[in-house]
Structure 1
Amino acid sequence: MFENALTIRNVSYGKKITLKAFVSTCIIALAVALPQVVHMAMGQPGGVKWLPMYLPVLIGGCLMGVKWGSVIGVLSPLVSFFITSAMGNPMPMAARLPFMMLELTVFAIVSGLFTKKISENGAWAFAAVILAQICGRGIFLGAAALTESFTPFTAKMIWGQIQTGFTGLALQAVLAPVIIIVTRKLLIKEDQND
């Protein structure tokens, strides 16, 4: 969607790359900061229930597309891990990091596949977010099942966390598309027929 808005405005290739890098960096920063706020307010259970890093990644996928969204999905938990490790409290924990990187990359790829559709009609953001959530959580569950013999995660444990996080997913299934629809209206000039 962001690419389409820049193309409509005849932004040069070099400037597009700069703007995409800037927006992606801002989304990653939000994905790092938002969990910190939730954890300060509600502790670790708040993070498991509300899944605060997921919201910026879902928005990033819808807004930036598959390629840039993938970068956001991979880097958000990785940057968070390095910053919070330096502060003495790594989030996510090292054992969970590869799983979160995989899950959030899937979130971004799936939601990013809808970018062109969202540019045409913002309501597609609802399908993009919900499908991304299902696929991402499914990948996490599947990865835990495949690796439970040598990681601290079991499919049963992850399924319990998925159930706990349903509240956050449900909120994000509404909030993320609304943010995307508002952003779309700001970025893309609407025809009078829209």
Structure 2
Amino acid sequence: MQRQIRNLTLAAMLTALGLILPLVTGNIPRLGNMLLPMHLPVFLGGLLLGWQYGLILGAVLPLMRSLLFGMPPLYPVALAMTFELATYGAVAGALYRRSPWKCLRALYRALLLAMFAGRAVWGIAEIALLGMTGKTFTRQMFLAGAFLNAVPGILLQLILIPSVMLALHRTGISGLFGADAGVRTANGQFYASFSSAVRASGRRISACARRALCFRKDNNGGETAACFALQCDSHGRFLPAFFAESSGAHGRAGRTYLG
């Protein structure tokens, strides 16, 4: 229940951000088309909250802005953006959530693939919407809108989104760097994620670069000392390793493994 409330609160904040950010460039439409401010909260929603939230945020934001502020124009811009942004949030969230390694490499892979998928969907939507009125959507229009004019916004997203994820990781919100790696102990005790194990211990990861975290926790009358160690492999992926030994009336040492 607490997690659901947190997710809904964060989704509401991202929705408000998506409505406000375009106002910064509202007087200069060309600048808004280059920086793509509405894309940022949609990507963050998918990455932080999952593909369902990302899809809903992407589908709702363009329509809400069009109805509330008259920008972007409902037809065909806002309608096409609805499909585009919904794809961004859903694909980025799904790919990142399914990745076994929550690291920068996985984050960038999810972002780049989502960007290509969303632009492809945007092109298809523009063709369909303009075709209803007998207009054509040329390849030159697609390349200009999807890539050439959007280069500053793409670069901004590739720099800003990982930076925000890193900052949120320090607060325990983001699952970057192995925070979602499930851990199961020999006695059957299971932590759904690295971050939940940290919360269970009453401690928090203070920095992304921190390589190990140890905590003590009572378990059936025995006190368990556990350490999470983060190491990098040759591909730059983080390898979570779990070590534990138990002592006390009901505790015993045992081998542990990743669940």
Q: Could you tell me the TM-score, scaled by structure 1's length?
A: 0.80
Post-superposition CA distance 1:124-171 (Å, at most 9, x none): 211111111111111111222344322566243233222101221122
- 1:149 aligned onto 2:131: yes
Distance 2:115 2:122 in 1: 11
Quickly say closer, same or farther: Cα 1:104–1:153, change in 2 above 3 A: farther
* 2:71 pairs with one of 75, 91, 107: 91
Cross-structure match for 1:7: none
Contact 1:119 1:184 in 2 (8 A): no
Q: Relative to 1, partners in 2 of residues 1:182 and 1:122: Cα closer, same or farther, differing over 3 Å?
A: farther
- Spell out the pairing of 1:16-165 with structure 2 (5 A cutoff): 16-40=3-27, 43-84=28-69, 90-95=70-75, 96-116=77-97, 120-123=101-104, 124-151=106-133, 154-155=137-138, 156-162=140-146, 163-165=148-150
Q: Within 1, Cα distance between the matches of 2:32 and 2:43?
A: 16
2:63–2:74 contact (8 Å) kept in structure 1: no
SS at match of 1:27: helix
Question: For 1:92, what is the secondary structure of its paired residue?
Answer: coil
SS at match of 1:52: coil
Distance 1:79 1:58, change over 3 A: same
1:17: how far off?
2.0
More helix by share: 1
Structure 2 segments unaligned to the other structure (5+ residues):
173-194, 196-203, 206-210, 213-228, 231-259
Give 1:137's aligned amino acid: R
- The amino acid across from 2:92 in the alignment is S
- In structure 1, distance between residues paired with 2:39 and 2:68: 18
Distance 1:50 1:161, change over 3 A: same
Q: Higher mean Cα deviation, 181-190 or 128-137?
A: 181-190
| Percent identity for Structure 1 against Structure 2 | 23
Q: Highest relative contact order (Cα 8 Å, sep 6+), 1 or 2? A: 1
Contact 1:122-1:184 within 8 A present in 2 as well: no
Q: Is the 8 A contact 2:36 2:153 kept in 1?
A: yes
Give a deviation string over 1:14-43, Cα, whole Å, max 9, x none.
Answer: 222222111101001101111111224xx0
The answer for unaligned runs of 5 or more in structure 1 is 1-13, 85-89
State whether residues 28 and 72 of structure 1, in contact with CA within 8 Å, keep that contact through their aligned partners in structure 2: yes
Structure 2 distance, partners of 1:134, 1:55, is 15
Q: Distance in 2 between matches of 1:15 and 1:72?
A: 21
Q: Secondary structure of 2:166's partner?
A: helix
Q: Write the distance in 1 (CA, Å) between the matches of 2:73 and 2:85.
A: 15
TM-score by length of structure 2 reads: 0.61
* Contact 1:73–1:108 (8 Å) recurs in 2: yes
Q: Tell me the number of residue pairs that the alignment of Structure 1 and Structure 2 aligns.
A: 174
